[in-house]
Structure 1
Amino acid sequence: MALHMMEASEVAKKVINQEELFILDVRNEADFNDWKIEGETIESMNTPYFDLIDGVDEVLPQLPEDKDILVVCAKEGSSVFVADQIVEATGRDVSALKGGMKSWSEHLEPVKIADLGDNSALYQFVRLGKGCLSYMIVSGNEAAMIDPLRMTDQYQAFADKIGVNTIHLIDTHLHADHISGGRRLAANNEGTYYLPSKDAGEVQFDFTPVEDGQEIVFGQDEVTIRAVYSPGHTIGSTSFILNDTYLFTGDILFLDSIGRPDLAGLAEDWVADLRETLYVRYKKLDQNLQVLPAHFAKLHELANDGRVVARLGDLYEHNEGLNVDDEDAFRKMVTENLPPQPNAYQEIRETNMGKLNPDQEEETEMEIGPNRCAVS
């Protein structure tokens, strides 16, 4: 019998591979109800740590005999204490999540989307703990990234492993739910940070503006990334088409929903732009384009191999947000009864503008919680 420390990467693989796991989450009830580890084969229960300080007898009858057990807390310490008690009481092997939910929130799982040629490939980084998606496009020994997150060390380790230098860092818009890693990666790799010009009015640092129709061509296979202006989530939101095959939609279009227009306080102003993008601009594009969004909301959006991708034409068949014929009904859908706004979204926006410079712990606290960029 022993207490084991389970890495967030191990939990991610269990979620993607649909392996059974029982989680005892010892955070307080409100935090558990707001955000937790989820998966098709993940079973979880919540008993706050303070109810277990004097012993774990009350939870022992509820622990399954035939599943691995993982104890989870916010930062690690409480879960180790509880897991150790369960080991002593039952004689079973029990795990605690190393780094707690902080580590789960920040883990990125790389998944290959496709080879783009003999020397090129496209990777998707899945942030299971927050529903964020970012992308690395590799060509020869050069790479570009779209919507990189602040966990730049994980991208750098992956780039070093495959032997590439990431020199083009691109954000589809000024993000409000997470802190961008684009500027940092550009500085670390002597690269270029691209941001849509219409989102950059209050930005406090140097960047390369992105305009509609602009192309970025790089690498051994000369892969081509073309900008397509697609406002609505923000006034500057810009999509990108890779090699006339993949459409990076940012927070405008997801597999099961559409982007919300209210995170800068301008929902009524941006509704018409959002509808124009989704119902006119995107319909003019090749419907065989493979959509790669910046977020997902539910785990059923992941394919069996962990990828989040769908054909644009199929989304027009199945995505409810793309099938609201009445304009007034559409307006109500995207401005009323929306989910809560992301935690600290205004502070995150100002950080991405360069107005705030939080330390690492503050950044973590700002981002804690689920993805809330979709209408539903």
Structure 2
Amino acid sequence: MTTPTVTKMSAKEVTRFIIGKEALFILDVRNEDAYQDWKIEGEGIVSINIPYYELLDEIEPALKQLPPEQPVLVVCAKEGSSQFVAEQLAEAGRKDVFYLEGGMKGWSEYLEPVKIADLSQGGELYQFVRMGKGCLSYMIISEGEAAIIDSARMTDAYQQLLADKGAVLTHVMDTHLHADHISGGRTLAAKYDAQYHLPPKDAEEVTFDYTKLVEGSNIVVGKEEIIVQPIYTPGHTIGSTSFIIDDQYLLSGDILFIESIGRPDLAGLAEDWVGDLRETLYARYKQLPEHLMVLPAHFASPSELGEDGRVAGQLGVLYQHNPGLHIHDEEEFRRTVTENLPPQPHAYQDIRKTNMGKLEPDEDTQREMEIGPNRCAVHDN
């Protein structure tokens, strides 16, 4: 008997469902603990979990739980198990059944480019949404030059946009030493012979050369002087640095998110950094113009996605609605950002060491280190 052909669905196609808030039913066949820790979510997404081993001999339990007229996507860790289950569903007569290409590992690594704006001097600003990980990175392009901020480990999407725009990468920046994902900054800087910028207070233990981010120094991108201005805003790490672009956009790193604020505990110095975090959020940022559009380095929930997939919020509006900006008692603020926090990111200490250059894990190990959601926010959804 010929096995029915089933179709794989790419991470890009799943992203389209989430951004468009379209209905998609997911049968996740990973073990229950993996599913509970991290799964595909979105306003139009409904998912159930039936571990693969429960479906090896009998597919009927899954068939009974699937909606009659709706696309069904089968998901596993790497792809193989979901393909097998999808084929069993199709053989049993189920139509419109797909499996996720690359599994959750592929989902974790996909970057969706979103154009944020045309800048006032003719440049462009792009946001790269890592939907499966909640990470955000940025590219500024002007007059054939480009800068990338908070690069992901996977660099193909950036290289593709650079090629499409005919731009040369001249600057790479990380707002801080990341603990939840491996930066692609050094890789990109080496490939394009670009300057790699880091906050010096976060880079005291790095093993490689870098250019120091210093408050008040401008980084020029292009002949029209699109200015990226570092603003020293400690709290998430002691060196956390923000950027203002075109007097319109505030790249806040992991200090301020759309629905939350950054956590100060990922270097083991939460008690020491609480005051810095509060000073940044309640004083330094408070002095900035309210019209600035905040572009963070992470998001925690699909509810933070705009209609086109972008993650952004006006600073003045965030001061009205973000719960992390309404903790006026200092002791309550200290407790909020140091106690009862979400679990720390998977392998975060090894990720920090990798970003310092102290570890050089192979590609498979890097994938394993990054598996799971980001957990950089105090109020994780």
Q: Which bin holds the TM-score, normalised by the shorter protein? A: over 0.9
How big is the shift at 1:39? Answer: 0.6
Q: Structure 2: give runs of 5+ residues left out of the alignment.
A: none
Whole-Å separation in 2 of the counterparts to 1:268 and 1:160 = 45
* CA–CA distance in structure 1, aligned partners of residues 27 and 165 of structure 2: 37
1:255–1:319 Cα contact (<8 Å) kept: yes
Post-superposition shift, 1:2?
3.4
| 1:262 aligned onto 2:265 | yes
Whether contact under 8 Å (2:150, 2:185) holds in the other structure is yes
Where in structure 1 are there 5+ consecutive unaligned residues?
none
Show structure 1 runs of 4+ deviating over 3 A: none
Residue 168 of structure 2 is aligned to residue 165 of structure 1: yes
Which of 137-146 and 72-81 deviates more? 137-146
CA distance in 1, matches of 2:271, 2:103: 39
- 2:96 equivalent to 1:93: yes
CA distance in 2, matches of 1:169, 1:73: 34
Aligned residue number for residue 104 of structure 1: 107
Instruction: State the partner residue of 2:226.
Output: 223
Separation in structure 2 between the aligned mates of residue 278 and residue 349 of structure 1, nearest angstrom: 24
Does the 8 Å CA contact 1:169/1:193 hold for their aligned counterparts?
yes
Q: Residues 117 and 221 of structure 1 are in contact (CA less than 8 Å); yes or no, is this contact kept in structure 2?
A: no
Q: Residue 328 of structure 2: which of 317, 325, 330 is its match?
A: 325
Aligned counterpart, 1:245: 248
TM-score, normalised by the number of residues in structure 1: 0.98
1:2 pairs with 2:10? no
Deviation digits for residues 222-241 of structure 1, max 9, x if unmatched?
10000000000000000000
Shift of 1:140: 1.9
Residue of structure 2 in register with 1:71 after alignment: 74
8 A contact 1:2–1:94 mirrored in 2 = no
C-alpha separation in 1, matches of 2:144 and 2:132: 30
Specify the code of the residue in structure 1 equivalent to 2:336.
M
Give the deviation of 1:91 after TM superposition. 4.6
Q: Name the counterpart of 2:179.
A: 176
SS of the residue corresponding to residue 60 of structure 2 reads: coil
Report the alpha carbon displacement of residue 220 of structure 1 after superposing the two structures with TM: 3.4
Partner residue in 2 for 1:37 = 40
Q: CA deviation at 1:55?
A: 2.2
Matched to 1:295, the amino acid is H
Contact 2:141 2:221 in 1 (8 A): no
Once the 2 structures are TM-superposed, how far is the Cα of residue 269 of structure 1 from its aligned partner? Answer: 0.2
TM-score by length of 2: 0.97
Measured against aligned partners, the alpha-carbon deviations of 1:36-75 in whole angstroms (never above 9, x if no partner) come to: 0001001111000000011211111111121111100000
The yes-or-no answer on 1:53 pairing with 2:56 is yes
The one-letter code sitting in structure 2 at the alignment partner of 1:120 is: G
Match of 1:341 among 338, 344, 347: 344
Distance 1:91 1:26, change over 3 A: closer
**Deviation, structure 1 residue 158:** 2.0
8 Å Cα contact 2:300-2:374 kept in structure 1:
yes
**Partner residue of 1:192?**
195
| Distance (Å, rounded) in 2 between the aligned partners of 1:274 and 1:8 | 35
What letter is aligned with 1:178? H
Aligned residue in 2 for 1:116? 119
Q: 1:274 aligns with which of 273, 277, 281?
A: 277
1:139 maps onto 2:161 in alignment:
no
